[in-house]
Structure 1
Amino acid sequence: MKSHVLFDHDGVLVDTELWYFKAGERALADIGVTLDRERYLRDMSDGLGTWAQARAAGVGERTIDRLRRVRDDYYQAYLRSEPIEIEGVVEALEELSSHVRMAIVTTSKRSDFELIHAGRQITRFMDFVLVREDYERAKPHPEPYLTALGRFGASKEETLVVEDSARGLRSAVAAGIDCAVVRSDFTRTQDFSQATHRIDALGELKRIVVA
Structure 2
Amino acid sequence: MKKFVLFDHDGVLVDTEPWYFKAGQRALADIGFTLDREQYLRDMTRGAATWNQARAAGIDDRTIARQRAVRDAYYREYLSTEAIEIEGVLDTLAELSRQVRMAIVTTAKRADFEIIHEKRKITSSMEFVLTLEDYEFSKPHPEPYLTGLKRFGATRDETLVVEDSERGLTSALAAGIDCAVVDNAFTRSQDFSGARYRLATLSELKDLILAAT
TM-score class, shorter-chain normalisation, is over 0.9
Structure 2 partner of 1:124? 124
- For residues 75 and 66 of structure 1, what CA distance do their matches in structure 2 show? 15
The Cα offsets for residues 143-198 of structure 1, whole Å up to 9 and x where unpaired, read as 00000000000000000000000000000000000000000000000000000000
CA distance in 2, matches of 1:182, 1:95: 17
Letter paired with 1:64: I
Please tell me the residue identity of whatever aligns with 2:149.
L
Cα offset, 1:207, TM superposition:
2.1
Q: Secondary structure at the match of 2:172?
A: helix
Alignment-mate amino acid for residue 58 of structure 1: G
Aligned equivalent of 1:172: 172
Name the structure 2 match of 1:89.
89
Identity of matched residues, %: 69
Give the CA RMSD over aligned residues.
Answer: 0.6
So what's the TM-score if we normalise by structure 1?
Answer: 0.99
Aligned equivalents of 2:106 and 2:85: distance in 1?
A: 17
Secondary structure at the aligned position of 1:20 is classed as helix
What TM-score comes out, normalization by structure 2 length? 0.98
Alignment partner, residue 113 of structure 2: 113
Structure 1, unaligned runs of 5 or more: none
Match of 2:149 in 1: 149
Partners of 2:72 and 2:101 lie apart in 1 by 32
Aligned-partner residue type, residue 105 of structure 2:
V
SS in 1 for 2:203: helix
Residue deviations 1:91-121 (CA, integer Å, cap 9, x gap): 0000000000000000100000000001101
- Structure 2: tracts of 5 or more residues without a match: none
Superposition deviation, residue 208 in structure 1: 1.9
Q: Hey, what does 2:44 align to over in structure 1?
A: 44
Per the alignment, residue 205 of structure 1 pairs with 205
Instruction: Show the counterpart of 1:12.
Output: 12
Moved over 4 A (4+): none
How far apart, CA to CA, are the structure 1 residues paired with 2:206 and 2:120?
A: 22
